[in-house]
Amino acid sequence: MFVQQLYTNCLAEAAYYIESDGEAAIIDPVRESDPYLDLAKQRGTKIKYIFETHFHADFVSGHIDLAKKTGATIVFGPGAETGYKVYNATDGEAFKLGKITLRAIHTPGHTPESTCYLLLDEGSREYCLFSGDTLFVGDVGRPDLLDGKMNKEDLAGMMYDSLTKKIIPLPDDVIVYPAHGPGSSCGKNLGKETWSTIGQQKKANYALQEKSRDEFIQELTNGLTPPPAYFFSDAQINKQGYDSIDSVMQKNLNPLSPGEFQKEIDAGALVLDTRIPDDFEKGFVPGSVNIGLNGMFAIWVGTVIDINRNLLLVCEPGKEEESVLRLARVGYEKVKGVLKGGIESWKQAGKSLDKVDSVTPSEFAERVKQGAYVLDVRKISEAEAGHIPSASVMPLAELDENKDLIPSDKTVYIHCAGGYRSMIAASMLKAGGHRNVVNVLGGWNKIKDTGVSVAKGLPANLVS
């Protein structure tokens, strides 16, 4: 028996490769098939099953392409209705894989069809649980992603039943392999680890503590921030099907000259610059939004950019294919083209450039003493642990719909925790017409050590 977690950082997503006696199964694959095909070839196995724990909302699963390339059976839980051929497991149904068994455990709550898969080893011992978005490390799946088709209280009640009747009774030593780790928006506050055990979660996970059904529902549904808008689009894509990743890559990797690029801008396409913030700030195509490949790229694209918007890409040379692929992972396929030769070709063509000014943390601390307008784009929970008393706090996820509340007649000093989100925010504000924006290098991680005044608790200036 062999089990391997394949973790995709920019999605905070974990897929799994399971193998026994020459047969393999994949659980919750990401969009591209190569990682699974390569691993199966390397190990000399045949992929027999592709198990989906639910209809994913935060990424486009690669199950359809992988099934076409391998002949493997796609397995969903009870009640999953799709626009393509799948096998619907019944609750408790067993699937043989070489000398081991995977048992479907229907666990509605995150979604109605959510299903965990319990692996029984060669001796029929309960070894590990592929828990999907039902159980995370320190959290459980949020119950509000059905876009009004079922209310969150009903789904939270289902989650309570699933946890108390099917998850908590499992042996303490069963390993928990969830579909997501820290940074995912599929839960409220996931722990930093990407795996655990049932016993550890019984001790540490708030959702597995003893409480009444009503208490659980209230706790699970309180404090939920709005999910990214693209979640509902991705869930539909995963239900109905999609174009093959190979055709998407071929269509979207369209090199454009600066002149052709400008024509697409004039036609209304948004320029997405995927370079690192340090490079972006020195010079970029006016109106660009910067979301660097060096961070949680896919999640932030899905959070701040409309999935239906036509896009143009500016990339570090050699990063074009990675940029297009990582967009496709979250269903962003309306890429009109990529600037051929990157930003250097734009400069050589004599096109205009914009830039973002930055200051060091110590320079920023001096500006704060002088009454500077500070925009903190971290999450509320981050700001509660420490923030500039006078700062206006607006989480990055809320910036686009509220950017008109940011004063345009003041210089806006923007910071996050480390500098990644603040540059996204700075680029968004500049694209929206704010000219006087300044990025704080190093973010709060460096600011807090400058001796600047710090407040804790709920910020006084929440902008929304």
- Is the pLDDT at 182 greater than 70? The verdict is yes
Paired strand residues for 103: 94, 118
340-352 burial code (b ≥16 CB/10 A, e <16):
bbbbebbeeeeee
Q: Model confidence at 147, in pLDDT bands (50, 70, 90)?
A: low
Q: Are 437 and 399 in contact (CB under 8 A)?
A: no
pLDDT band at 189 (very low <50, low <70, confident <90, very high): confident
pLDDT at 127: 98
- Mean pLDDT (whole number) for 131-149: 91
Cβ–Cβ under 8 Å, residues 82 and 237: no
Mean pLDDT confidence for 182-193: 90
Q: What is the mean pLDDT of residues 143-169?
A: 92
Q: How many CB atoms are closer than 10 A to CB 212?
A: 9
Strand pairing partners for 462? 393
Q: How far is 242 from 90, CA to CA, in rounded Å?
A: 26
Which distant-in-sequence residues (6+ apart) come within 8 Å of 218 by Cβ? none
Q: What is the pLDDT of residue 226?
A: 84
Averaged pLDDT for residues 244-248 = 96
Print the SS3 string covering 24-70: EEEECCCCCCHHHHHHHHHHCCEEEEEECCCCCCCCCCCHHHHHHHH
Q: Which residue has the tokens 């920023």?
A: 364
Residue 262, token pair as written in the block? 């400008």
How far apart, in whole angstroms, are the C-alpha atoms of residue 303 and residue 345? 30
Neighbours of 49 (CB within 10 A): 22
pLDDT tens digit string along 40-56?
999 999 999 999 999 99
Q: What is the pLDDT of residue 148?
A: 65
Long-range CB contacts (within 8 A, 24+) of 140-143: 140/109, 140/110, 140/187, 140/205, 140/207, 140/220, 141/109, 141/110, 141/111, 141/114, 141/186, 141/187, 142/110, 142/185, 142/186, 142/187, 142/188, 142/220, 142/224, 142/227, 143/109, 143/110, 143/220, 143/221
Residue 57: which of 118, 143, 137, 172 has the closest Cα? 143
Q: What is the pLDDT of residues 198-226, one digit of tens each?
A: 999 999 999 999 999 999 999 999 988 88
Residues 6+ positions from 303 with CB-CB distance below 8 Å:
185, 228, 230, 396, 397
The residues near 87 (Cβ < 8 Å, ≥ 6 apart) are 73, 74, 75, 76
Predicted confidence (pLDDT) per residue in 41-100, tens digit: 999 999 999 999 999 999 999 999 999 999 999 999 999 999 999 999 999 999 999 999
Phi and psi of 228, rounded to 5°? -55, 140
User: Which of 135-149, 150-164, 248-262, 308-322 comes out lowest in average pLDDT?
Assistant: 135-149
Distances 226 to 143, 164, 205, 320, 398 between C-alpha atoms, Å: 12, 27, 22, 31, 9
Percent of residues, the chain, with pLDDT higher than 70? 100
Cβ burial 391-413 (10 Å sphere, 16+ → b, else e): bbbbbbbbbbeebeebeeeeebb
Beta carbons within 10 angstroms of residue 166's beta carbon = 18
What string of DSSP letters covers 99-138?
TEEEEEEE-TTSSTT-EEEEEE-TTS-EEEEEEETTEETT
Residue 161 has pLDDT above 70, yes or no: yes
User: Once rounded to an integer, what is the mean pLDDT over residues 338-359?
Assistant: 97
Give the predicted TM-score (pTM) of the model: 0.93
Structure tokens at 275: 């370079």
Cβ–Cβ under 8 Å, residues 227 and 144: yes
Partnered with residue 196 across adjacent β-strands are 176
**pLDDT at residue 463 in the model:** 86
The number of residues in the chain equals 464
Query: What average pLDDT does the chain have?
Result: 96
Instruction: Provide mean pLDDT across the span 284-307.
Output: 96
Token pair in block for residue 285? 């195509």
**Percentage above 90 pLDDT, the chain:** 94
Confidence at residue 229, expressed as pLDDT on a 0 to 100 scale: 86
pLDDT band, residue 227 (cuts 50/70/90): confident
Domains of the chain (ranges plus CATH)? 2-232 (3.60.15.10), 243-347 (3.40.250.10), 357-447 (3.40.250.10)
